[in-house]
Amino acid sequence: MDIGKYRNSRWLKKEDVDALGSETRRTVVESIKEELVGDDLKPVIYFKRIEKGWPINMTGLEVLAELTGSQDTEDFVGAAVELFVDPDVRYAGKRVGGIKLRRAVTKPIVNEDGAPFDDAIQF
């Protein structure tokens, strides 16, 4: 049995974020849904132009609450954020690195279909 098939997770991983271009890392919250992650029901956040969902923890939810000024996840939709990998994230006492988010430095410009807006105009 080839172990490679187990590497492709349906969830966003730090390696996926590392592989994104800087324009894609700056994105917009598209939706937040409750989904089964393992045996637990957890909030999963989806972003424009990023295929995989990210099971977000309480720290991430608190960041979004701060950015939007709301405790309601419905108000998080449309928030401009930047995903990044923090190498100091710890799990079970070990430094393993992980995904975090922050306010986007510049709001990403996207068309309604989620594609990057190209404003190059030929004169």
22-47: per-residue pLDDT in tens? 778 999 999 999 999 999 999 999 99
Q: Tell me the domain boundaries of the chain.
A: 10-103
61-114: per-residue pLDDT in tens? 999 999 999 999 999 999 999 999 999 999 899 999 999 999 987 655 566 666
pLDDT at residue number 114: 61
**Residues ≥6 apart with Cβ < 8 Å to 72:** none
User: Distances from the Cα of 108 to the Cαs of 42, 71, 97, 115, in angstroms?
Assistant: 27, 24, 25, 10
Q: What is the pTM of this model?
A: 0.77
